[in-house]
């Protein structure tokens, strides 16, 4: 028997994701159908809600309903009085575009929080202001990436672990806002299996992306090559959902079975303001 859902779902494409309709976030947070939303997320990997008014407290309430909410180490981005919320914005205090991307690391395929021992479970983005051109987000299905590999590659990856390091990915991508010594100490490199088993669905997924720096037991340069090649190979066009943001879109995705990246836009002319929070997941296994 399918679970009764107080909303309806429509597939976004062939890769992953569903658009949710018949849902309103302007209800008391305690009446939100958290369990049904989480179940839908497990099934579709990404949920899109269009045209929503989403109070910051409601965004945090959904995140708390899913699990423990991450307070990001880069504390200069905290938003609306909630340490759980993080605003990605290219607008200065006078309301003008700064000409700078707020986090250039997000332009490379990655999965949120893979640089922590407990990695990201769900990330939730609410679009406050979006550019007319560019600035989209893309997601790639990592169940599909694993399933597309030949048996020999799957055997080669079994047991391999990658070291994920936020300091590496941030500084390599954009040295203009390096981490402080304190931030760096708070997030030392960690290693995770390259093939992880999703703790809820039991399905295998590739877990890699741009925070991965090296491979345990492999010479550094060889590991770098290995990661670059595998990252290029797992992102296949038929596994990608590309989203063009409209104001008041809300997207939730599962970091345990997807990679994502942001797309460039003209940061000197256009404005992009996104309110985000990330739920902490498990230690990958």
Q: Measured between alpha carbons, how far is 135 from 243 in angstroms, rounded to an integer?
A: 9
Q: How many residues bind Fe ion (CB under 5 A)?
A: 1
- Give the DSSP H or E segment for 64: helix 56-66
177 class by beta-carbon count within 10 Å (0-12 exposed, 13-18 middle, 19+ buried): middle
Least distance CB 106 / Fe ion (angstroms): 5
Site mask, Fe ion, residues 93-112, x = CB under 5 A? -------------------x
Give the contacts of 188 (CB within 8 A, at least 6 positions apart). none
- For 99: left if phi > 0, alpha if psi spans -120 to 50, otherwise beta; the answer is left
- Give the DSSP H or E segment for 48: strand 46-49
Give the contacts of 184 (CB within 8 A, at least 6 positions apart). 167
Between 29 and 136, name the residue whose CB sits nearer to Fe ion.
136
Least distance CB 41 / Fe ion (angstroms): 16
Which residue's CB atom is positioned nearest to Fe ion?
112
Between 112 and 249, name the residue whose CB sits nearer to Fe ion.
112
DSSP 145-186: HHHTS-HHHHHHHTT-EEEE-HHHHHHHH-TTSPPPHHHHHH
Residues in the chain: 285
Between 112 and 191, name the residue whose CB sits nearer to Fe ion.
112
Between 107 and 270, name the residue whose CB sits nearer to Fe ion.
107
Residues with catalytic annotation?
110, 112, 260, 276
Least distance CB 261 / Fe ion (angstroms): 8
Between 32 and 124, name the residue whose CB sits nearer to Fe ion.
124
Least distance CB 194 / Fe ion (angstroms): 19
**210 counts as binding Fe ion under rule CB under 5 A:** no
Least distance CB 262 / Fe ion (angstroms): 7
Point out which residues bind Fe ion (CB under 5 A): 112
């Amino acid at each position: 028997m399918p679970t009764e859902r107080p909303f309806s779902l429509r597939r976004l494409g062939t890769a992953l994701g569903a658009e949710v309709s018949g849902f309103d976030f302007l209800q008391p947070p305690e009446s939100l159908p958290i369990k049904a939303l989480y179940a839908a997320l497990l099934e579709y990997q990404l949920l899109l809600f269009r045209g929503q008014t989403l109070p910051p407290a409601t965004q945090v309430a959904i995140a708390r309903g899913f699990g423990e909410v991450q307070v990001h180490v880069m504390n200069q981005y905290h938003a609306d009085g909630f340490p759980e919320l993080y605003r990605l914005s290219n607008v200065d205090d006078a309301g003008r575009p700064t000409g700078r991307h707020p986090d250039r690391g997000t332009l490379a395929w990655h999965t949120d929080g893979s640089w922590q021992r407990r990695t990201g479970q769900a990330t939730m983005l609410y679009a406050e202001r979006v550019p007319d051109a560019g600035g989209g987000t893309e997601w790639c299905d990592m169940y599909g990436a694993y399933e597309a590999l030949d048996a020999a590659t799957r055997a080669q990856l079994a047991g391999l672990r990658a070291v994920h390091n936020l300091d590496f990915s941030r500084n390599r991508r954009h040295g203009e806002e390096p981490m402080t010594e304190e931030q760096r100490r708070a997030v030392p490199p960690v290693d995770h299996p390259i093939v992880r088993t999703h703790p809820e669905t039991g399905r295998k997924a590739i877990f890699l992306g741009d925070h991965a720096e090296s491979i345990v037991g492999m010479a550094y340069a060889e590991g770098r090559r290995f990661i670059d090649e595998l990252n290029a190979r797992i992102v296949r066009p038929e596994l990608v959902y590309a989203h063009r943001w409209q104001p008041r879109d809300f997207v939730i995705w599962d970091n345990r079975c997807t990679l994502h990246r942001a797309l460039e836009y003209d940061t000197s002319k256009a404005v992009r303001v996104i309110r985000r929070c990330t739920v902490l997941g498990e230690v990958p296994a």
